Copies of this chain bind each other. A is one copy, B any other.
Amino acid sequence: MSPGSAGPDGPAESPVLVTARRARAAATELAPLPRTVRDGALLAIADALVARAGEIVEANVRDVERARAAGTSAAVVDRLTLTPERIAAIASDVRDIVALPDPVGEVVRGSTLPGGLELRQVRVPLGVVGIIYEARPNVTVDAAVLCLKSGNAVLLRGSSSAYASNTALVAVVRDAVAAAGLPADAVQLVPGESRESVRELMGARGLVDVLIPRGGASLIQTVVSESTVPVIETGVGNVHVYVDELADLDMAVEILVNSKAQRPSVCNAAETVLVHQGIAEAFLPRALAALTEAGVTVHGDESWQKAGAAAGVEVLPVTGEDWATEYLSHDIAAGVVPDLDAAVAHIRRWSSGHTEAIVTRDALAARRFVSLVDSAAVMVNASTRFTDGGQFGFGAEIGISTQKLHARGPMGLPELTSTKYVVTGDGHTRG
């Protein structure tokens, strides 16, 4: 079926729906294939990426030039840039994913029922997974490979700023997939660079099984509120570090600085620090010194401002806006709270449900914090930066879910599957 031609159920379909229908057909072919076949295709992708690095870089140069001409920041241009070395690294990541355990076919639950029926709950692919993501072209390969490994067809909707790179990458991937005997339509770029193509994808319920938006808060908000296709919300991290009354001061400073400044641009970086008033006097000066040294600007409440004045460090006044903000920069909102429950209440009000940390020596305080905080990950005496599929030992991650349904926290391969009950009898009927 060519783009724009009539689908089986009606008049002319949009190119996006045609693509989705092809993905559905490919998913049907893909689901029953054994691991060896899928893994063979993934290895072929890794080889092809290295072999055809030249044409990928050539396409990427066009995106990079366009971005530079548009005055894009150097950091973003860097994230967009592909070199032969970076492509080799992507290929190496693909090989690592091949080695991961196959989630498909895992028997999650099994029993023989009292009447003799044999019940098995078996992992199966979700079917068609749609990924909507921003600038980085390495996500194109990563998402495609994770979906194929878990038996899914994937629809990739990257940003228009990486369109040439993504087109080249997907062409390489599709060729390799087809050569390995899998349907090429298991990996497709969603046609069109406009917002309209995202809207059509969000309306393709029945053809697309799940949409995973990866990117900024506004993209995710749009998809969550407008999609009729089920969505997994990912990646918005308004992350808190709470320093308890009985915290080890050195440890608290180290965890705070690491959580905030080790890589401020990512979702598991801290955005707010809350300090128990009983330790504030001792902690604030040391925290201010360490944060300042790490290049962090503090947006603080009165206590933090006083401590700043005393230390000769500028502390900007914090606002409600600050508590709500995922800075993704060298900024942090900072407050002092009367007790642990006040910290929890603050977190419940402002957190995006990604990750929060407590630093404390008090086992009961740690237990209470873990129990009351309603987020995907809760760290006790550890940096918030550990919320990550790689760090958690999952080998790979398609995103970090901040919702409670289906998957919560870093999503690895099992989170890209559903299950099916298989019930076997020898003529069983219900009385």
Q: Is A418 an interface residue (CB 8 A)?
A: yes
Q: Assess the A404–B378 pair: CB atoms within 8 A.
A: no
Q: Assess the A348–B262 pair: CB atoms within 8 A.
A: no
Q: Pick the contact of A421 from B205, B248, B378, B405 — CB < 8 Å? A: B378
Q: Pick the contact of A391 from B113, B127, B348, B379 — CB < 8 Å? A: B113
The smallest C-beta distance from A356 to any residue of chain B, in angstroms, reads 11
> Which residues of A approach B to under 8 Å, CB–CB?
28, 31-32, 111, 113-114, 117, 119, 121, 124, 126-127, 205, 209-210, 224-225, 228, 230-232, 248, 250-251, 254-255, 258-259, 262, 348, 366, 370-372, 374-383, 385-387, 391-393, 403-406, 408-410, 418-430
CA distance A371 to B375 in the complex (A): 37
Question: Could you show 23 A-B contacts with beta carbons less than 8 Å apart?
Answer: A28-B372, A32-B372, A114-B393, A117-B382, A205-B225, A209-B404, A248-B427, A251-B426, A251-B427, A254-B427, A254-B429, A255-B428, A255-B429, A262-B429, A262-B430, A378-B420, A378-B421, A379-B425, A381-B424, A381-B425, A387-B421, A392-B421, A408-B420
Query: Chain B CB within 10 Å — which of A251, A380, A428 has the most?
Result: A428
Q: Which residues of B sit under 8 angstroms from A117, Cβ to Cβ?
A: 382, 386
Q: Assess the B28–A383 pair: CB atoms within 8 A.
A: no
CA distance A205 to B248 in the complex (A): 39
Copies in the complex: 2
Q: Which residues of B sit under 8 angstroms from A225, Cβ to Cβ?
A: 205, 228
Q: Assess the A383–B429 pair: CB atoms within 8 A.
A: yes
CA distance A231 to B230 in the complex (A): 8
Q: Assess the A113–B392 pair: CB atoms within 8 A.
A: yes
Query: Chain B CB within 10 Å — which of A117, A126, A366 has the most?
Result: A117
